[in-house]
Amino acid sequence: MGTPRPQRINRYGIDFKLKAVQMSSQPGVLVKDVAESLCIHSFTLSKWRKQVRDRELIGKPAPIEQSAVTELRRQREVEQQYKRLQQEHDLLKKTIRFASDRKQNSLPSAKQTGKPTRSR
């Protein structure tokens, strides 16, 4: 076993925290998305949001850029579209597999068995 390394602890300033909370409070923006874009854990951002609600974290945040909020919304839409496309792709694969299995399990034809067919 290796020796444990000291845990890296990031210290963020009040301005950064308030700006992150403000970004996550915008309509159509998820806490998870803001946290990922800022490279912080979503629990940390949720904790900061609670501190602001409880007035433990007070200050005047710098104005946020609307382009950042717009980009977060666009990123969320793209992720949702990607997830839907993955589900559709999986469904198509299952459909193809089902049809293929059904075709293989159907009655053997003369070509598959090599026997001539009888005509009535």
pLDDT tens-digit map of 90-115: 999 999 998 888 888 875 654 555 55
- Number of domains composing the chain: 1
Q: Is the pLDDT of residue 9 over 50?
A: yes
In a domain, residue 48? The reply is: yes
Report the 10 Å Cβ neighbour count for 29.
19
How remote is the C-alpha of 32 from its chain's centroid? 9
In a domain, residue 6? The reply is: no
What's the whole-model pTM score?
0.54
Lookup: tokens for 84: 């839907």
Query: Left, alpha or beta for 58 (phi > 0: left; psi -120 to 50: alpha)?
Result: beta
pLDDT digits (tens, 9 = 90+) for 34-80: 898 888 999 999 999 999 999 888 887 767 777 777 888 788 888 88
pLDDT for residue 110: 46
In a domain, residue 108? The reply is: no
pLDDT for residue 96: 92
Return the SS3 of 30: coil
Task: State the burial class of residue 26 (Cβ atoms within 10 Å of its Cβ: 0-12, 13-18, 19+).
Answer: middle
Spatial distance between the Cα atoms of 20 and 31, rounded to a whole number of angstroms: 9
In a domain, residue 62? The reply is: yes
Query: Left, alpha or beta for 27 (phi > 0: left; psi -120 to 50: alpha)?
Result: beta
- Give the residue numbers spanning the domain of 93: 14-102
In a domain, residue 114? The reply is: no
